Chains A and B, each alone.
Chain A
Amino acid sequence: MGSSALRDLRILVVEDEYLIAMSLADALQNAGSVVVGPVPSVDKAIQKIELEPHIDAAVVDVNLGGVLAYAVADMLIARKIPFVFTSGYEDNVLRNRYAQVKNCPKPYLFRAMEEALVEAMSHS
């Protein structure tokens, strides 16, 4: 499993749905990444980003327990950390304010998420 482009990268997972978060964390670990988190909420994500000295990339679920994750996205952009949204739908905010951020819509296969992360990092 060592051939993944995500090997040895520190990847933050922001996802409130436990099973999806665990599944993604497992897959990332299998690909050789170091998982930061997972964290289920905006507050916890912000805490994590502040405390964590190094994050290479992030996966951010847009709807975190009914709270929209825009504050997390803004913080990642400010710190120039590449990231990918996962969302069941795209609203106007996603389309306009974060036009440059790729959305990997749920449900996704890990392969698609891997590609999206690699693409996000190549732009930064």
Chain B
Amino acid sequence: MQFSQSQLRVSREEYEGANEELRAANEELQSVNEEYRSTAEELETSKEELQSINEELQTVNSELKTKLESVSRAHSDVQNLMAATDVGILFLDPRLRINRFTPRISELFNIVAGDEGRSITDFTHRLDYDDLAADASKVLRDLASTEREVHGNDGSWYLTRLKPYRTVEGKIDGVVVTFVDIGERRRAEDALRESESRMWILVGELQHRTRNLIGVVMAMVDRTVVEGTLDEFKASSGDRLVALARVQGLLSRAAPGDSVTFDNLLESELSAQSEDGGTVTFDGPPSIVVRSNSVQALAMALHELTTNAVKYGALGQTSGRLHVRWRVQAENGSPWIIVDWKESGVETAQPNAGARGAGNGRHLIEDALPFQFGARTTFAIEPDGVHCTIALPLSAPSTEEVQDGQLGAS
């Protein structure tokens, strides 16, 4: 019994011991279990974080893709711009080596594709611009752009502009040089300046001429008054004024650099007056330029001859003939025009034949032309009509010629 009892005690102790162990093991398991649970929770959190990071990465990735596309688009835009532009553009790095250039640059500098990386100072160019490298260095130093108009050695003009090359971050990384062709503008400016100064000369000449012309008209009226009756005065002064006006028309219609020619004058005078009769023949070279200074006086002389011929001579009678010959000949090395006005077949027995050639008209030929131009003239009334010769110098005086003789009748 006692044995049994001690055995039972032992067993109970063992049981209790085992129970104790079991409890301890159970507690451990419980704690392990808790650790597992917390780890599982941490894992869950991590997983969520990873997922969100993944999403962010995806967004960033697609943004990058868009940016890359636009960068490549911009790059191809730049390439097309460079190829298409008519403006010469040259990109230099801070040591003035060529980075990039447009096709126009190859026309100005002896640069070809493949020269990128070489210094711009190694190349010759077709511009009158030796300071290019110095200007570029100055732009790099001062960070201020410069501009100047330079001309090419073929007469072309370029507006040249140098600006610092700034990166997107604002860093200076070289120089941009542009060449804009302004030849057209320069030419237009030059032409404008020239035509303006020409206009002022013409305005001055015109003023001079107008005042002079009024002086001539006043003197002509003075002298016409002496010639005869008031009716005759009215007729001949009117005639002469119309002839003067006709010459002014010829002079002002002559294009710049152009001049009035002798056949112009002769035709204008003869066609202005009615020709009831008479045959007119011409014999002389065309396009002989008459000095603008002598145009007016020569025209008035031709006017008087024509008027007389219509009133009393070859142009007033059907039987009459007028033969005008002219030629150019050299005298002491300068050209003279020799005019021969010959009327024939004229009935000189007319009662008023005695009046012909008198007064102003004859003076203009016999006195005015020799006085004013050193001309030699003859005027004769021959049995069958008037015979008049005029030898007039064609060349301008040698010294101190008034600028632009175009309107320079004096």
Contacts and interface: CB of A to CB of B under 8 A. Distances in A.
B410 A89 contact: no
Nearest to B220: A19
Contact of B216 (A19, A87, A91): A19
Contacts of A63: 208, 402, 408, 410
A48 B270 CA distance: 39
A19 B219 contact: yes
Contacts of A88: 207-212
B371 A67 contact: no
Interface string B26-65: 0000000000000000000000000000000000000000
Contacts of B209: 88
A17 B402 contact: no
Interface string B150-182: 000000000000000000000000000000000
A40 B208 contact: no
Contact of B367 (A18, A68, A107): A18
Give the interface residue-count category, chain A. 20 to 34
B405 interface: yes
B367 A26 contact: no
A77 interface: no
A17 B293 contact: no
Contact of A26 (B218, B222, B368, B371): B222
Contacts of A18: 297, 364, 367-368, 371-372
Contacts, number: 90
B24 to A, nearest CB: 129
Contact of B400 (A17, A19, A61, A68): A68
B373 interface: yes
B223 A107 contact: no
Contacts of B331: none
B371 A20 contact: no
Nearest to A91: B204
B399 A67 contact: yes
Given A22-B223, A26-B222, A67 B215 contact: no
Given A18-B297, A65-B397, A89 B222 contact: no
Contact of B396 (A17, A19, A41, A66): A66
A107 B402 contact: no
Nearest to B367: A18
Q: Which of A41, A91, A105, A106 has the most CB of B within 10 A?
A: A106
Q: Which of B210, B215, B297, B405 has the most CB of A within 10 A?
A: B215
Given A22-B223, A89-B204, A107 B400 contact: no
A106 B408 CA distance: 15
A64 interface: yes
Interface string A39-75: 0111000000000000000000101111110110000
A67 B397 CA distance: 7
Interface in A3-58: 16-23, 26, 38, 40-42
Contacts of A41: 397
A72 B410 CA distance: 17
Q: Which of A40, A42, A66, A89 has the most CB of B within 10 A?
A: A66
Given A40-B371, A65-B410, A67-B397, A20 B219 contact: yes
B130 interface: no
7 contacts: A17-B372, A63-B410, A66-B397, A66-B405, A88-B209, A107-B217, A108-B215
List 9 tightest A-B contacts by C-beta distance, closest first: A88-B208, A18-B368, A23-B219, A88-B211, A19-B219, A107-B215, A107-B214, A106-B215, A106-B211
Given A22-B219, A65-B397, A106-B212, 18 more contacts: A18-B367, A18-B368, A22-B223, A38-B371, A40-B371, A40-B372, A61-B410, A65-B373, A66-B405, A67-B399, A88-B208, A88-B210, A88-B211, A89-B208, A91-B204, A105-B211, A107-B212, A107-B218
